[in-house]
Amino acid sequence: MKINMPDNKGHFGIFGGRYVAETLMPALIELEEAYRRAARDRSFQKEFRSYLKDYAGRETPLYFAANLTEKFGGARIYLKREDLNHTGAHKINNTLGQALLARRMGKKRVIAETGAGQHGVATATVAALFGMECEVFMGAEDIRRQEPNVFRMKMLGADVTPVTSGTATLKDAMNEAMRQWVARVRDTFYVIGTTAGPHPYPQMVRDFQSVIGREARRQILKKEGRLPDFLVACVGGGSNAMGLFYPFRNDPETAMVGVEAGGKGIATGLHAASISAGQVGVLHGNKTYLLQDKHGQVKDAHSISAGLDYPGVGPEHSFFHAQGRAQYVSVTDDEALAAFMLLTTSEGIMPAMESAHAIAYAAKLAPTLSRDKIIVICLSGRGDKDMGIVAEKMEVKLP
Amino acid sequence: MSRIEKKFRELKAKGEKALILYLTAGDPDLETTEKLILTLDRAGVDILEIGVPFSDPTADGPVIQEAAQRSLRKGTTLTAILKMIARVRKVTSIPIVLFTYYNPIFVYGNERFAGQAKKAGVDGVLVVDLPPEEADELRTFTDPQGIDFITLTAPTTDDRRLEKIVRTSSGFIYYISVTGVTGTKEPEAEAAARDLRRIRKATDLPVAVGFGISTAAQVRKFAALADGVVIGSAFVKWISLHCQEQDFLKQAAAYARELKEATVL
């Protein structure tokens, strides 16, 4: 059976949808129509591709990690190098797409939520590029943890608005961005950074990020003459994972593994593993797996990686999980940190702490597979931004 | 005929408009909420919206966000709110609307919710993040119980969409008078009047106006335009400022009476 989702109301099976207040519905319908037109419009696609190539620096390499393969002693490891994109992560693929769409729709102001600051930086970047006003909502707690990215956004001309409501992290930043969007819905385009939120965002973000999987599929066919046995990617909201997975969805020989943040361990309750340890609920406009208590109140997520620190997950991942099309696992903070060191020392590539989760799971998977198997890992971002956290964990004081 | 429908008919016959007060259940605690409901009923409030606190209230401004947080810290649950409503229902016939986000209901179970809400004496539900496109999954259960499904319309809602919304509404239409979250902007009477004319053309259901109305003077202004006026954030804020005072309930009754007078034209 071929998977072609969502349906025309944005549902992926029982997941997804548009659970928002009426004030936003007209804006979502307008966005959906504008996106549908753009998706069919060759000139839009051409423009998007040209920015991906000449501005973001695509295509990104599919790198055979010989040292890592040797270390794991099993399957052949390929890294899809999204860390080599402009701004250092896959996030730019999506913000370029949405900013081009915003420009088409005549919106001169964009807003975004951000956790680690990567999506905020990617949004501020395209706002600078296209001469748009930009406001980024960021939890006060995250602002403290991610100082350098806050400064980057400000230099790019964005206003960074601290969010102190709730727990002052990513979910609250998203709440606040939605509130601000409601208040200025007529002139503002909300650039959501992941495959979550109300329809059409999960579909639109997936489509913009699918360039990752399309390239990887072409590249692996060229290098190995066949499709990979496994795709492995980290999942917070799930945009890099869906970007990699989606073009392979109808290739039954390729298994997909989404790696959630296990934090201090699932048993401790301090994690961000929505699919592995959550229940179905409704948050931020879509139905999906959530970390929540038995009364439907959303719980805080915990992860060493601010980019995975989200209590929900994109609805299409929930759907892939329910269908059994992809498998979802988790690794702990400590495992991710060890994987960060492993990739840094063995390949000279410093991964983002988010991407280190994918490496950590591959470290468990690869040794169980024979040497003729192939694993493609999405290296979603580079790790420079995580120096503070790594130093803190290693008890090293940075100047 | 539902209690809500009956109330609007009675008011119309008397030449009055409905005063609808919103309060977050469990802020400062459920015991106080229970006493408040009875006090407000006696003071002449026509309809009550009882807010179910949610951790991520994306349509609410700071006042109601904070009230929800305070209530959740007290351990307020939907189960406890329904029990409290069942108690007050024995002694009052004031129409009660549960004002909530969808997740607490969804997790409670839609079918179970419909049954328990009916049993407790809930007259209507207003689920902020359940637009007509998604509402069937709940209404499959609440409609057969005769629970009114109150829907929102906004200044951004165009005529075509308005048709669709009013077709599926019961009880009354809640017109969001500002493009924004609760309690943050003051609505403009002219724009509201224009929208209300559009809504009236589309439906015979009563229309209440809310989101940003805070004073008796504003109540008077908007009561002239609509069938009812909702005070939410302003009242929630008032509760938070006065709930520790000795004669709190007496003050609440006076607060409600002043607003109610403004709905008698």
Q: How far is B84 from chain A (nearest CA, A)?
A: 17
pLDDT on residue A99? 98
Residue B184 has pLDDT above 90, yes or no: no
Rg (chain B; Cα; Å): 17
In the numeric block, the tokens 């209404």 are attached to B139
Residue B185: pLDDT band with limits 50, 70, 90: confident
Residue B88 has pLDDT above 60, yes or no: yes
CB-based contact A23 B106, cutoff 8 Å? no
pLDDT on residue A168? 84
CB-based contact A166 B69, cutoff 8 Å? yes
Catalytic residue among B5, B27, B60, B195: B60
Q: How far is B221 from chain A (nearest CA, A)?
A: 23
Which residues are bridge partners to A95 per DSSP? none
The distance in angstroms from the start CA to the end CA of chain B is: 26
- Kindly list the residues from chain B whose CB atom is less than 8 angstroms away from the CB atom of residue A294: 107
Active-site annotation holds for A264: no
Residue A265 has pLDDT above 60, yes or no: yes
Give tens-digit pLDDT for B5-63: 999 999 999 999 999 999 999 999 999 999 999 999 999 999 999 999 999 999 999 99
Residue A165 has pLDDT above 90, yes or no: no
Residue A148: pLDDT band with limits 50, 70, 90: confident
Which residues are bridge partners to A163 per DSSP? A139
Q: Are strands A285-290 and A15-19 parallel, antiparallel or unpaired?
A: antiparallel
Q: Give the three-state DSSP class for B214.
A: coil
pLDDT on residue B1? 86
Task: Tell me the average pLDDT across A236-246.
Answer: 97
Cis geometry, peptide bond prior to residue A59 (ω within 30 degrees of 0): yes
CB-based contact A175 B58, cutoff 8 Å? yes
**How many Cβ pairs within 8 Å bridge chains A and B?**
126
Q: How far is A185 from chain B (nearest CA, A)?
A: 8
What does the alpha-carbon distance between residue B254 and residue B217 come to, in Å, rounded to a whole number?
Answer: 16
Residue A3 has pLDDT above 80, yes or no: no
Residue A145 has pLDDT above 80, yes or no: no
Which pair of tokens denotes residue A353? 């702490």
pLDDT on residue A2? 62
Catalytic residue among B41, B49, B123, B148: B49
Q: At what angle do helices A25-40 and A42-51 cross, to 10 degrees?
A: 90
- Kindly list the residues from chain A whose CB atom is less than 8 angstroms away from the CB atom of residue B182: none
**What secondary structure letter does DSSP report for A382?**
B
The Cα diameter of chain B in Å comes to 51
Where b means 16+ CB within 10 Å and e means fewer, B217-246 reads ebbbbbbebbbbbbbbbbbbbbbbeebeee
Residue B186: pLDDT band with limits 50, 70, 90: confident
Considering only residues 63 to 102 of chain B, which have any Cβ-Cβ distance to chain A shorter than 8 Å? 65, 69, 72, 77-79, 101-102
pLDDT on residue B196? 95
Residue A319 has pLDDT above 60, yes or no: yes
CB-based contact B131 A22, cutoff 8 Å? yes
Q: Is B159 on the interface with A (CB under 8 A)?
A: no
Chain A residue at shortest CA distance from B78: A295
Q: How far is B11 from chain A (nearest CA, A)?
A: 28
What does the alpha-carbon distance between residue A329 and residue B55 come to, in Å, rounded to a whole number?
Answer: 27
What does the alpha-carbon distance between residue B128 and residue B97 come to, in Å, rounded to a whole number?
Answer: 12
CA atoms within 13 A on the CB side of A345: 7
Preferred mutation among A179, A274, A280, A291 to probe B, highest tally of B CBs within 10 A: A179
**What secondary structure letter does DSSP report for B53?**
P
- Averaged pLDDT score across all residues of chain B: 96
* CA proximity to A389, closest of A343, A345, A344, A352: A352
Active-site annotation holds for A330: no
CB-based contact A27 B78, cutoff 8 Å? no
* CA proximity to A81, closest of A90, A68, A69: A90
**Alpha helices for A76-200 (secondary structure H):** 91-104, 118-130, 140-145, 147-155, 170-183
Q: Is B176 on the interface with A (CB under 8 A)?
A: yes
User: Is A8 or B208 the better-scoring residue by pLDDT?
Assistant: B208
What does the alpha-carbon distance between residue A213 and residue A215 come to, in Å, rounded to a whole number?
Answer: 5
CB-based contact A9 B133, cutoff 8 Å? yes
- Averaged pLDDT score across all residues of chain A: 95
What's the ipTM? 0.95
Where b means 16+ CB within 10 Å and e means fewer, A126-155 reads bbeebebebbbbbbbbbbebbeebbebbee
pLDDT on residue B183? 81
Give tens-digit pLDDT for B129-161: 999 999 999 999 999 999 999 999 999 999 999
Are the beta carbons of B141 and B111 closer than 8 angstroms? yes
Sequence-ordered strand ranges (E) for chain A: 11-12, 15-19, 62-64, 76-81, 109-114, 133-139, 159-163, 188-191, 230-234, 255-261, 279-283, 285-290, 326-331, 374-379
Residue B256 has pLDDT above 70, yes or no: yes
Provide the percentage of residues in chain A whose pLDDT is more than 90.
88
pLDDT on residue A263? 97
* CA proximity to A300, closest of A320, A318, A286, A283: A283
pLDDT on residue B182? 84
What does the alpha-carbon distance between residue A106 and residue A26 come to, in Å, rounded to a whole number?
Answer: 16
Residues contacting residue B95 through CB under 8 Å, at least 6 positions apart: B2, B3, B4, B7, B46, B47, B48, B123, B124
Q: Is B157 on the interface with A (CB under 8 A)?
A: yes
Where b means 16+ CB within 10 Å and e means fewer, A71-104 reads bbebbbbbbbbbbbbbbbbbbbbbbbbbbbbbbe
Q: What angle do CA B260, B264, B265 make, to 5 degrees?
A: 145
What does the alpha-carbon distance between residue B198 and residue B196 come to, in Å, rounded to a whole number?
Answer: 5
Active-site annotation holds for B159: no
Give the burial class of A109: count Cβ atoms within 10 A of its Cβ; 0-12 exposed, 13-18 middle, 19 or more buried: middle
- State the sign of the Cα–Cα–Cα–Cα dihedral B117, B122, B124, B129: negative
Provide the percentage of residues in chain B whose pLDDT is more than 70.
100
Of B129, B156, B181, the CB nearest to A26: B156
pLDDT on residue B249? 97
Catalytic residue among A59, A71, A80, A91: A91
**What secondary structure letter does DSSP report for B101?**
-
Model pTM score: 0.96
CB-based contact A175 B102, cutoff 8 Å? no
